Structure formats: structure tokens, C-alpha cells
Structure 1
Amino acid sequence: MEKDIMNEEHVNSATKEMNEQEHVTTENVSSSDSSNSVEENTNVSEIEKLQLEVADAKDKYIRLYSEFENFRRRTAKEKIDLIKTASEDVLKEIIPVVDDFERAFKASESENNAANVREGNLLVFNKLVKVLEGKGLQVMTDIIGKPFDADTQEAITQIPAPTEDMKGKVIDVVEKGYTLGDKVVRYAKVVIGA
């Protein structure tokens, strides 16, 4: 019987030790689980932070790229406009010569021996006009009878309109207007009906 008691005590102490070991292992597992979940939360939050930083950097890059593209297009357009109107000053100086030719034609119409003079003037005039047109200079045409346009015309004076429908419209052109591309080089000087 003594042996049985001893065996029973031995079994009880072994069982107790096993229970204590299981308890310690359970605590270790639960503590390691909680530390793993903290590490996972930390890793997840760090990943989310990095993803937000990448998205922010990508957004900044796209905006910067768009701004650069807009700048490049604007600069290219300004360069093209500059090339189109580069000779504007020279053309402005040549326009009065064209006006003088037109006046000479009118004066030579009344002279008897003016046929040769007129023909020579006409040749020079046509050549000069062809050069100017080659450079992009265009005469404003078909102005008479159209409504006054302050963007392309300069009103010299107003006279009573010959008819009611001519009020506010161009009656006569004193000096022709010229454009270079889409830009007005010289405004047409006109008389409008009042």
C-alpha cells in the first residue's frame, strides 16, 4: 500500500508538473501570438504608409509632368508666333511705299505720256506686293459695306449714311489695313456711316 501511495504521489507530482508546463507553454504561445499580431499591425501600418508615400510621389510626378508639357506647348506656340511675325518691323516700313505707288498710279492716269511711267510703276508695284505676300502680309479686303470692327479698323470720321442700312457700317476706306498671319500689322483707316 505504501508503494501505491508513493506511486500515486509520484503520478500526482508528474501530472502537476505537466500541467504547469502546459500552462507556461500556453502563456508563451499567447504572448508570442500577441507579439506577432503587434508586429503584423506594425508591418501593415508601415506598408500602408509606404503605399501612401508612393501614391503621393506619383501624384506629384504626374502634376509636374503635366506642367512641363503645358510649358513646352506654350513655348513652342510662342516660338511659332514669333517666327511668323519676325519681319513685322520691316513690313511696317515697306507699307508706305505701297501707298506711294498707289498714289502715283492715280496721278499718272491724268497724264498723256504717262503710259510708259504707269507700266513701269505697275511692274515695280506688283513685284513689291508679291514679295510682301510671300512674307505673309495680307491686305484687308471687302471692308466697304461691312459693320465697323474696332479690332481691325480705325475710324477716321463719321459721315451721314447714304441709306439707313449703312449706319454703323464702313462707307469708305482711306488707308488699307494689313495683317501678318492672324495679327493686325496696320489698322484700316475707314469712314463710317452715322
Structure 2
Amino acid sequence: MAKDKKNKNEIPEENIPEEAVTGEVVEEPAENPLEAQLASEKERFLRLAAEYDNYRKRSAKERESIFADVKSDTITQFLPVYDNLSRALANETADEAYKKGVEMIMTQFEEVLKKMGVEEIPAVGKPFDPTRHNAVMHIDDEAYGENEVVEEFAKGFIMGEKVIRFSVVKVAN
């Protein structure tokens, strides 16, 4: 019998509740089903609010991206006009009024491009940059530095960090 009493005082580890072992009180789920449903609905609401906020931010970024792409594409369509005005100014003419008119149009065109955030890519005399220049010719001439742009065939344009059109250039050495 002494053995039976000893065995009764010893509780096997399997039967000991976890809270007794750790000394912490384990929170039991809410007994009221309405409180549980309220907690569930609150969590659902918070998830929906976060989802909507992410959707709103993603939509705003997509709108900005689409606007920038459309703006870039539109400007690209006008660049041949810019090239033709440049060629017209490069040609000599006896009619000064005609030349003055083309200069005024070109100035206005450049102002519009500037207002839209479009800038020319500097080329001649600068080091060749494959992210901004398109080399179509190469010459060996010791008068120029290593990979220096010596001639520009078509101007390049950049809007912010995006290249709208690469500069078409001739590179030395």
C-alpha cells in the first residue's frame, strides 16, 4: 500500500497541464460567441482596409507610370519635327524674315520641351555612355580622347531618368 500512496502523489508528466509547468496563465478563447464574431469581423475589416490602401497606392503608381509612358511616346512623335526645324536652321537662306520665323518656332518648341521636363543629352566632347548614346561610327584619331564623342548625327533626349531617344554619335579611339 505504501507504494500505491507514493504512486498517487506522483503525477505523470503527461497529465500535468501546460500552465502548471510554465507558471504562465494561458488565455482561453472568449466564451461569448458574439465576442468571437466581433473579433473575427474586426480582423476582416482591418485586412480589407489594408488591402484597399495597397490597391489605392498601386493604382496611383500605375497611373503615374502610364502617364509618363504616354507623355514619352507623344514627345517621341514630335522629335522628327524638331529634327526638321534644326535642319532648316542649318541651311542658308537669303530670306531673313523666313529664317527669323523658323528660329522663333524652334525657340518655342524648345521651351515646350523644357516645360515638359525634356532635356537634350549632351554628346559632343563627352565620354561615350552606352546608356545614353548610340554609336554608329568609330574613328581612330589621336586628337581626341579615349571613347570621346566627336560628332552627333541626331540629338538625344531624356525626361527625368528615362531616355526618350538615344543620341546617334560618332566615337573616337
TM-score when normalising by structure 1: 0.60
Letter in 2 for 1:166: G
Q: Does 1:175 align with 2:157?
A: no
Could you tell me which residue of structure 1 aligns to residue 130 of structure 2? 150
Q: 1:42 aligns with which of 17, 22, 27?
A: 17
Residue 149 of structure 1, CA deviation:
1.1
Aligned length: 146
Instruction: Say if 1:37 and 1:147 are closer, same or farther in 2 by CA, change over 3 A.
Output: closer
**Is the Cα contact below 8 Å between 1:84 and 1:181 reproduced in 2?**
no
Instruction: Say if 1:36 and 1:173 are closer, same or farther in 2 by CA, change over 3 A.
Output: same
**Is the Cα contact below 8 Å between 1:98 and 1:125 reproduced in 2?**
yes
Give, in whole Å, the separation in 1 of the partners of 2:149 and 2:139: 10
Identity across matched positions, percent: 22
**Is the Cα contact below 8 Å between 1:85 and 1:181 reproduced in 2?**
no
SS at match of 1:127: helix
Could you tell me which residue of structure 1 aligns to residue 37 of structure 2? none
Q: Does 1:188 align with 2:167?
A: yes
Q: Does 1:84 align with 2:77?
A: no
Query: Segments of 4+ in structure 1 off by > 6 A?
Result: 45-48, 68-75
Give, in whole Å, the separation in 1 of the partners of 2:54 and 2:141: 50
Letter in 1 for 2:17: T
Q: Deviations over 1:63-120 (max 9, x none)?
A: x9xxx8999877765554443333121111100101100111111xx222x2101111
**Is the Cα contact below 8 Å between 2:93 and 2:99 reproduced in 1?**
no
Give, in whole Å, the separation in 2 of the partners of 1:73 and 1:85: 18
Could you tell me which residue of structure 2 aligns to residue 131 of structure 1? 112
Residue 134 of structure 1, CA deviation:
1.7
**Is the Cα contact below 8 Å between 1:178 and 1:185 reproduced in 2?**
yes
**Is the Cα contact below 8 Å between 1:169 and 1:192 reproduced in 2?**
yes
C-alpha RMSD of the superposition = 3.8
Could you tell me which residue of structure 2 aligns to residue 99 of structure 1? 83
**Is the Cα contact below 8 Å between 2:118 and 2:157 reproduced in 1?**
yes
Give, in whole Å, the separation in 2 of the partners of 1:170 and 1:131: 27
Q: Deviations over 1:140-171 (max 9, x none)?
A: 12x222221111101111123251x5232101
Larger radius of gyration: 1
Which of the two has greater helix per residue? 1
Stretches of structure 1 that go unaligned for 5 or more consecutive residues are: 1-22, 52-63
SS at match of 2:137: strand
Could you tell me which residue of structure 2 aligns to residue 119 of structure 1? 100
SS at match of 1:86: helix
